[in-house]
Structure 1
Amino acid sequence: MTNEKPIADERAYRPAQPVVRKIDKADLRDALARGLADFNAMPTHLVFLCLIYPIVTLVAARTAAGYEVLPLVFPLFAGYTLIGPLVAIGMYELSRRREKGLDISRRHLFDVLRSPAIDAIVVLGIVLMGIYSAWLFAAQTIYELYFGSAVPASIAEFARQVFTTPSGWALIIAGCGVGFLFAVVVFTLSVLSFPLLLDRDVGVITAVTTSVRAVLANPTTMAMWGFIVVGALVIGSLPFFVGLAVVLPVLGHSTWHLYRKVVKS
């Protein structure tokens, strides 16, 4: 029988404002290596396949039933990065447990539901979902600005409009620009917020401000991390989203180790 303490007892009571360190590229490489090691020790790809494919199937079926949702397919999946920190919270918990030498079976993915920080996690999760909804609204508005409210006649016609017309290229530029702003905001607010909430007895405001301070203290390195995350998600999405079942948990575990490097224990 393993000797485990409740999550409430494991969370350390430290000063209200955590100390933020400077990090460099070597720290990013080490965080990724440690994240991959965590995934190899605690593979959760089947869990993520069960989460990813019902969503993919639902969107595909809805698109086939009526092309009115076609303009939102890319924003739906691209905006997934906005709620990625919330989706990865189970990975943070598993990495935290492995770090402490506790049991790391997959059922502990859901231990966050018993965490004393669950209220703060829910609040921050609602904020991210709100931003995600705002992004979808913005994407729809941008599309209608260039193409009106007409429903695409087919997938081929929609692709022709987007990739071969001046309005389509303007749509791509405007959409990517606005999406980048949403991503920067979410990344800055949440890159370290959820790991900090799991690890310490702090509130939402302290978690968010610590994440913001970490990004401001390491602008270049954290920007590199953001591009690593985006690049990994794009690569993982290419083979029919199968790769995301590995990419998502590895990035989640790696983010926990990034948190350990940035926020002083």
Structure 2
Amino acid sequence: MVPSVIRPAYDRPETAFGGAALRVRRISPADLVHCLKAGVADFLRHPSQLIFLALIYPIVGLFLARLSFGYDVLPLLFPLVAGFALLGPLTAVGLYELSRRREAGLPAGWDHVFALAHAPTILSIAVIGCALVATFLLWLLAALVIYELTLGGYVPASLASFAQEVFGTRAGWALIVFGNGVGLVFAVFAMSLSVVSLPLLVDRDVSTATAVRTSFSAVAANPAVMALWGLIVAALLALGALPFFVGLAVVLPILGHATWHLYRRLVV
């Protein structure tokens, strides 16, 4: 009699270990459209806006509480909003698992997401997560340095005066140009590091080196399409942030699910 195999709660296909990058595919803009549609479908199947509201609004609340004491924190508003793009892949790890299980025809619930804590790749996920947090903190530091170099010690008296200083002066436009240029560098690095590595670690038992190398290889093999994906992400995040950040509670999970399907299109 053949003994039955007891599968753990965290159930996924076995793969080989190693440090070499996995093979990646070239994709087209049509693949991005497919990924977004699949991301919307997964979100409607597993709505998670309340969880993302719980993640977003403590940060927003702290910022607004500090803003009530003065407008000197206004220069941090844009870097903080942009930081959602840098940290988004880390907050979406649980969504990758939901999409993976749905795709595989397995039961998909939040108990399975919590089972990720017992995944053999959890330390690798944590390492990449720490790298993303460090990237976010370095971005905030760089943004403050650029602000000091362009606008000096200017402390806005109001939101209107801050907008006038940024959009109505040469120094303000220098802040916009240099700030967005440096931010683009951080964003490209964060996307290249995480866009494939985190969903890959959720899906397969590979090393940190394999996950990271595969992620950078996928971006390098599809520079134009991945640049378009970055623009789509930035546009959706900006759209979600407009109604007082409420839209991010929908945009972030949709992008998280869509990133899973993007990974599936990219990696052989």
In 2, the alpha carbon distance for the partners of 1:205 and 1:164 equals 47
Provide the C-alpha distance between the structure 1 equivalents of 2:11 and 2:110, rounded to a whole number of angstroms.
Answer: 21
Instruction: Pick from 100, 105, 129 the counterpart of residue 104 of structure 2.
Output: 100
Structure-2 residue corresponding to 1:232 = 236
Q: Could you give the per-residue CA deviations for residues 39-58 of structure 1, whole angstroms, max 9, x where no partner exists?
A: 11111111112221222111
Give 1:65's match in structure 2, choosing from 69, 80, 83.
69
Alignment correspondent of 2:49: 45
Q: What does 1:12-23 align with in structure 2 at a 5 Å threshold?
A: 12-14=14-16, 16=18, 17-23=21-27
In 2, Cα distance between equivalents of 1:177 and 1:20: 29
CA distance in 1, matches of 2:219, 2:259: 13
Counterpart check, 1:26 vs 2:38: no
1:249 aligns to 2:253 (yes or no): yes
CA distance in 1, matches of 2:143, 2:84: 13
Question: Which of 172, 186, 208 in structure 2 is aligned with 1:168?
Answer: 172
Runs of at least 5 residues in structure 2 that lack an aligned partner in the other structure: none
Residue number in structure 2 paired with 1:87:
91
Q: Distance in 2 between matches of 1:54 and 1:109?
A: 22
Alignment partners' CA distance in 2, 1:234 and 1:99: 29
- The one-letter amino acid of 2:110's match is R
Equivalent residue, structure 2, for 1:77: 81
- Deviation by residue 1:5-64 (Cα, 9 ceiling, x = unmatched): 325552421363321111112211111111111111111111112221222111111112
Alignment of 1:175-186 (within 5 A): 175-186=179-190
Instruction: Give the TM-score, by structure 2 length.
Output: 0.92
The separation in 2 between residues aligned to 1:223 and 1:22, in whole angstroms, is: 13
- Whole-Å separation in 1 of the counterparts to 2:34 and 2:120: 30
1:209 aligns with 2:213: yes
Letter in 1 for 2:7: K
> In 2, are the aligned partners of 1:7 and 1:115 still within 8 Å (CA)?
no
How many angstroms apart in 2 are the aligned matches of 1:222 and 1:180?
Answer: 13
Query: 1:91–1:249: 8 Å Cα contact kept in structure 2?
Result: yes
The amino acid of 1:49's aligned partner reads L
Q: 1:121: which partner in 2?
A: 125
Equivalent pairs counted in the alignment come to: 262
Distance across 2 between alignment mates of 1:7 and 1:189: 28
Q: Which residue of 2 aligns with 1:219?
A: 223
**Cα contact 1:23–1:218 (8 A) shared by 2:** yes
Q: Distance in 1 between matches of 2:86 and 2:77?
A: 15
- Native 8 Å contact 1:44 1:106 kept in 2: no
Report the aligned-residue RMSD. 1.8
Q: Secondary structure at the match of 1:104?
A: coil
3-state SS of paired residue (1:65):
coil
- Which deviates the most, 11-20 or 113-122? 11-20
Residue of structure 2 equivalent to 1:139? 143
Does 2:5 align with 1:10? Answer: no
Q: Compared with structure 1, are the counterparts of its residues 116 and 80 closer, same or farther at alpha carbon in structure 2 (3 Å cutoff)?
A: same
- Residue identity matched to 1:19: R
1:229-252 CA-to-partner distances (Å, cap 9, x unmatched) read 111111111111111111111111
Deviations 1:128-161 (A, max 9, x none): 1111111000000000112223432332222221
- How far apart are 1:183 and its partner, in Å? 0.6
Shift of 1:77: 1.2
Matched, 1:35 2:39: yes
In 2, Cα distance between the equivalents of 1:153 and 1:189? 39
Query: How big is the shift at 1:172?
Result: 0.8
1:121 shift after superposition: 0.7
CA distance in 2, matches of 1:18, 1:68: 47
Q: Give the structure-1-normalised TM-score.
A: 0.93
Secondary structure of the residue aligned to 1:10 is: coil
